[in-house]
Structure 1
Amino acid sequence: MKKIRCALYDRVSTDMQVRDGLSLDAQRQALTSYATSHGYEIVDYYSDEGITARKKMQNRKELLRLLSDVKADKIDLILVTKLDRWFRNIKDYHNTQAILEQHNCNWKTIFEEYDTSTANGRFAINIMLSVNENECDRDSDRIREVFAYKRRNGEILSGAHVSFGYKVKDKMFVKDETVSHIVEDFFNHFFTFYSKRKTVNYIMEKYGDLSPAETTLMYMFKNPVYYGHAYGKDNFCESYITKEQFQKIKEMGNLKVYAGNNAPYIFSGLIKCPICGHNFAGYQHKTKRPSGKVYISPVYHCKQKQRSKLLCSGGINIYESTVEKFMLANVETKLAELSNLQMEFRLKVQADTGKDPQLEINKLKSERSRLNILFQKGRISEEYYDSQYDVLSEKIKVCESTLDIATGRSIEPILCAFTGNWKEAYLALDKEHKQAFWHDKIESIHINPDTHKLCGFNFLCK
C-alpha cells in the first residue's frame, strides 16, 4: 500500500510557551512519534514560533508554506497536536478547509478527537473554534484595558523601550541623572548652532564612550518623548525641551544647511515659498565674469520646485546678501510696531475687563501645570483632569486671541535681543553664529507672490 504522506505542523505563541511549557520541540517530538507509529511518511515539518492563532494568516509564514505544498498535491494528511494549535479563527479555518478539500488533504489532532466527515463532527469543531476565538478576544480586551489604565496613570507599558536620558522608576519614565547632562548639552548645542550634524559630532567627540551611538543621537531629534510626549499624551514624563522647540526641529527637517567649504546657509529653513508654502533651501550659484573669474554666492529657492514642477510652479531665487540687508534694515521698525500694537491690546483688554491678559495667561498656564502634576501623581481622576484641562486651555486660548501677537507669546526676550549696538555685534559674527542668531529669533521670512520681493517676517516669540 502507498504510504500516507504526512505534514507535521506545530505552533506556539510566546505567552503560551511560558505558561504551559508546550514548546515547539515538545510538539514536534509528539507529532513525530505519532506519525512513525502509524507508518506515515513525513514530508516536512512546519513550525510557527511566537505567533498567535488569531493573527492574520499572512503572518503565519509556515502555515502559508504548508498550504502551498498542499496545493502542489504533496501532502495527504496534516498532523497537529490540538485544535487551538491549528486555528482559533473561524474564518481562516474555513478558508483553509476549502483548500484542503479541493486537494483531498485531511487534518488530524493527535491529543483530541475531531471528525470532519460528519455533520456533528463539523459542528463540534465550529463550537470549539468559537470558544477559542472568544477566549483570545477576551484576553486581548483585558490587555488593552490594562494598557489604557497604565497610560492614564502615567505608567509605562511592560517591555517599553527606554530612550537615552531616561530610566524607569516606579513604573514611570524619569530622567537618568547619570546621562541627563549629555542630553541637555545635546539640545543646548543644537539650539545654539542649529546644525544636526555638528551637534552629533560635538556630542560624540566630547563624551566618547559615554555618548550613545550616532543613530541614537539622530533619532533624538525626532523622538517626542524629549518634550514629555509618550503613548499619545503630552506631559507624560519629564521633558528636556519644550513642545515648541520640538516643532522647530521638525520644521527644519532635513534641509541642507551647509554650503561649500562647510559654510552654513544663514537663513536655511526660514524663508517660505509664496507659491506652495514650503521652506526655501540654499545652494551655491556660480557667476563667471568676462575676466574669467568665477564668483560663488549663496542663493535660496524652493526645494519643491527643484524636485518637481508638479509640486511648485514658482521659480523664485533670492540672494543671501539680499535677505540679510532686508532683515537688518527692517528689524527695528517691525519690533516697534509689534510692541506698540501689543501694548494697545493689553491696555484695551485691561480697561474692559480689569485684567492684564498676559498676566492672566501666565496664571492660567501655572494652574494647568499644577493640574498635570496632580494627575501624574494619581490624586485626581481622569474624568476630572480632562474636564479641567479643557476649561483652562479654552481660557488661555481666549486670552491669547485678545493679544493677537504671536499667539499671545511675550516679545520681551526679542526686544532685549535687539538693544544697544546689536547690528555692530552681529556683523562681527562668522556665518555659523549669524545663522544661530536668526534661527533663535525669527520664525519665518516671507516673499510677495506677485513681485517676488521680500515683504515681511515673523519673530519667534516665546
Structure 2
Amino acid sequence: MKKTQSCPPPVRRAALYIRVSTEEQAKKGYSIPAQREDLEEYARTNGYAVAGVFVDEGKSARKRYTARSAFMEMLEKVKAGEIDVILFIKLDRWFRNIADYYEVQKILDAHNVAWKTTQEHYDTETTNGRLYINIRLSVAQDESDRDSDRIKFVFQNKVSRGEAIFGNPPLGLKVEDKHIVPDPETAPLVRELFRHYESHRSISRAVREVGEQFGRILWLDGTRRMLANPLYKGVYRDNLTYCEPLIPPEEFDRVQELLKERSIRHNQTGRIYLFSGLLVCSECGRKMAGRYATTKRKAHNWEYHLYRCPTAMQYHRCPHRKEVNEEKLEAWLLEHIQEELNAYQMQWEASASAPVRPKVDKAAILRKLEKLKQLYIDDYITLEEYQTDYQKYRGKLDAEQPKPQRPDFDRLRTCLNAEFQTGYTAMSPIQRRDFWHSIIKEIRLNTENSPQILFRV
C-alpha cells in the first residue's frame, strides 16, 4: 500500500508597510531603515515571502489614507490577489482614524488578507479583540487631535503677532527677525508683474516680458499662484496686517477681479475680439461668446465679429437671441462713453450717500479676543469654549461694513479726454482691446442689446 505524501502549506506572501512623518522619524526613532529591518526579520522568522515593501515617507496617519500613495499601491495589489498578509510594526503606523480603519478593513476582509504588527499583539477574530483595537484607535485619534489643536493654537498665536511660521516665503518677500518683509532684490520684479498684468490682462505675456526685463525664468502656473497670493497685500489667515504690503491692497484686489473674470480668451486663429470677456447677457448672466462671419464687399471677402449669448444659441434656454455687431458696438462706445461715465459716477455717489450700518468698535473686539486667548492659555476655559467665543467675536468683525472707498474717476477722465479718439484710431486691434479692458469691467446687454456699462474704477 503506497504512502500518500502531504503537500507543504503554501508560503504566505507578505507586504511590508512602513510609514513615517518627519517629526516621528526625528523624535521617536521610527526611521525607514529601522522599520524595514524589523519587518524583514519578522518575515524571515515566520516563513513569509516578502511580496513588496511599501513606504510612505512624510505622511501623517491623520490624513485620509487615499493621500498615501504607497498605501494605495498596496491596496491595488491586495485587490489583484498578490498579497496574503500585511506587516507593520505598530498600530499607529497603520491608522489613527477609526472611520478609515474600518473602510480599509472591509477591503482586506473581502480579499481574505490579514494584517499583523511585529511589536504589538492584536486579535481580530474575537469580539474582545476587535473592541481592544477600537479603543486603541480611539485613544490614538484623541491624542492626535489634542496635538493638532495645540499646534494650531501656537501657530495662530504666532500669526496674530505677525511672526513667520514658514521658512520660504513667495518671490519678492523674505524672513527677517521672524517677520515677513519685502526682499529688495526681487520685490521690483513682483511689483512690475502685478502692474503689467493689470495693464494687459495676460499672464503669459507678463511671464514673457517681465521675465525678459529682469532676466529671470517665470513659470505660468507659479505666476498665476503669485498673483492670487494675499500675502503680497500683507494678509495671512485672519491677520489683515500680518506683514508690510508689497502690493497696495487696492491694486491687489483689482488684480483678483481680473483673474476671476479671465477677461482675455486666447484662440488659436489669432483673431482679436475687442470685447471678449466684457459682454454679459443681462438675462442669464453668461459671458457672451464671439464668432466671426464673412461677407463679400467690392470683390473682397470682409470679416466681421459678432457676439451672442451661448445659453440662447446652444441650449435655447435664454430669450436673448439677438447678436451684437462688434463694429457697431465700438462706434456706439466712442460716441457715448463720456456721458455713460457721468451717469455711472452720479449713480455711485447717490448710493454712497445712503446710510450704512454703524461701525463696530474693532479695537474693543480685538482686546476681547486677546483676553479670551489668555483665559484659554491659563486653563480657565476649555478649547471648545474658546473656539465658540472666538467665532462669535470674529463674526462681529466680519459683519462690519466699511465705508466704500471712492473710485478713481479722475483716472478714467484722463483716459477719456477730448483727444482720446484721435489716439484711438491709431491703435492696433490688440491695443484697442487692452484700452477697453482697462476702463470697462463689464457691459451688460439686454434682449434688445441696449448696453449698461460698469466701469473699472
TM category, shorter: 0.7 to 0.9
Which residue matches 2:287? 279
Contact 1:82 1:112 in 2 (8 A): yes
Contact 2:160 2:242 in 1 (8 A): no
Out of 176, 189, 204, the residue aligned to residue 183 of structure 2 is: 176
> Secondary structure of the equivalent of 1:456?
strand
> Secondary structure of the equivalent of 2:444?
strand
AA partner of residue 148 (structure 2):
S
AA partner of residue 143 (structure 2):
E
Paired positions, count:
423
* Residue 324 (str. 1) matches residue 330 (str. 2): yes
> Secondary structure of the equivalent of 2:433?
helix
> Secondary structure of the equivalent of 1:49?
strand
Contact 1:267 1:438 in 2 (8 A): yes
Change (3 A) 1:305 1:235: farther
AA partner of residue 185 (structure 1):
E
Which residue matches 1:439? 437
Q: Whole-Å Cα distance in 2 between the matches of residues 67 and 416 of structure 1?
A: 65
Change (3 A) 1:23 1:270: same
Which residue matches 1:424? 422
AA partner of residue 285 (structure 1):
A
* Residue 23 (str. 1) matches residue 31 (str. 2): yes
Deviations 1:266-290 (A, max 9, x none): 333222223322333444332124x
Q: Whole-Å Cα distance in 2 between the matches of residues 422 and 250 of structure 1?
A: 27
Change (3 A) 1:97 1:344: closer
Which residue matches 1:245? 254
Change (3 A) 1:187 1:336: same
Change (3 A) 1:77 1:224: closer
Q: Whole-Å Cα distance in 2 between the matches of residues 395 and 332 of structure 1?
A: 30
Q: Whole-Å Cα distance in 2 between the matches of residues 64 and 460 of structure 1?
A: 49
Deviations 1:229-261 (A, max 9, x none): 54366554424253441233124316426796x
Paired residues for 1:286-435 under 5 Å: 286-289=294-297, 291-302=298-309, 308-309=314-315, 314-338=320-344, 393-394=400-401, 396=403, 400=404, 408-435=406-433
Out of 198, 218, 227, the residue aligned to residue 205 of structure 2 is: 198
Which residue matches 2:265? 256
> Secondary structure of the equivalent of 1:186?
helix
Out of 6, 10, 13, the residue aligned to residue 17 of structure 2 is: 10
Change (3 A) 1:318 1:95: closer
Q: Whole-Å Cα distance in 2 between the matches of residues 189 and 82 of structure 1?
A: 55
1:49 shift after superposition:
1.6
Contact 1:282 1:301 in 2 (8 A): yes
1:3 shift after superposition:
6.0
Q: Whole-Å Cα distance in 2 between the matches of residues 459 and 58 of structure 1?
A: 47
Change (3 A) 1:287 1:52: same
Q: Whole-Å Cα distance in 2 between the matches of residues 312 and 149 of structure 1?
A: 52
Deviations 1:107-130 (A, max 9, x none): 543333445566665554444333
> Secondary structure of the equivalent of 1:267?
coil
Q: Whole-Å Cα distance in 1 between the matches of residues 350 and 94 of structure 2?
A: 75
AA partner of residue 284 (structure 1):
Y
AA partner of residue 176 (structure 2):
K
Change (3 A) 1:87 1:386: closer
Q: Whole-Å Cα distance in 1 between the matches of residues 333 and 323 of structure 2?
A: 17
Q: Whole-Å Cα distance in 1 between the matches of residues 186 and 350 of structure 2?
A: 47
Out of 146, 164, 167, the residue aligned to residue 154 of structure 2 is: 146
Q: Whole-Å Cα distance in 2 between the matches of residues 67 and 386 of structure 1?
A: 44
Contact 2:14 2:49 in 1 (8 A): yes
Q: What RMSD, in angstroms, separates the aligned Cα atoms of the two structures?
A: 4.3
Change (3 A) 1:342 1:254: closer
1:294 shift after superposition:
0.3
Q: Whole-Å Cα distance in 2 between the matches of residues 342 and 61 of structure 1?
A: 54
Deviations 1:126-163 (A, max 9, x none): 4433332322222222233334334444445446x633
Out of 231, 239, 251, the residue aligned to residue 237 of structure 2 is: 231
Which residue matches 2:386? none
Change (3 A) 1:7 1:249: same
Change (3 A) 1:92 1:256: closer
Change (3 A) 1:315 1:233: farther
Out of 223, 232, 236, the residue aligned to residue 217 of structure 1 is: 223
Deviations 1:344-375 (A, max 9, x none): 889x88xxx9xxx9xxxxxx9xx99xx8xxx8
Q: Whole-Å Cα distance in 2 between the matches of residues 64 and 194 of structure 1?
A: 42
TM-score (norm 1): 0.73
Change (3 A) 1:33 1:314: same
Contact 1:166 1:174 in 2 (8 A): yes
- The 10-residue stretch of structure 1 (179-188 or 2-11) with the greater mean CA deviation from structure 2: 2-11
1:295 shift after superposition:
0.8
Change (3 A) 1:131 1:283: same
Contact 2:201 2:264 in 1 (8 A): no
1:317 shift after superposition:
2.4
1:45 shift after superposition:
3.3
1:448 shift after superposition:
3.0
Change (3 A) 1:232 1:270: farther
> Secondary structure of the equivalent of 1:298?
strand
AA partner of residue 276 (structure 1):
C
AA partner of residue 286 (structure 1):
T
Unaligned runs of 5+ in 2: 1-7, 374-389
Change (3 A) 1:24 1:312: farther
1:178 shift after superposition:
0.8
Change (3 A) 1:179 1:108: closer
Which residue matches 1:403? none
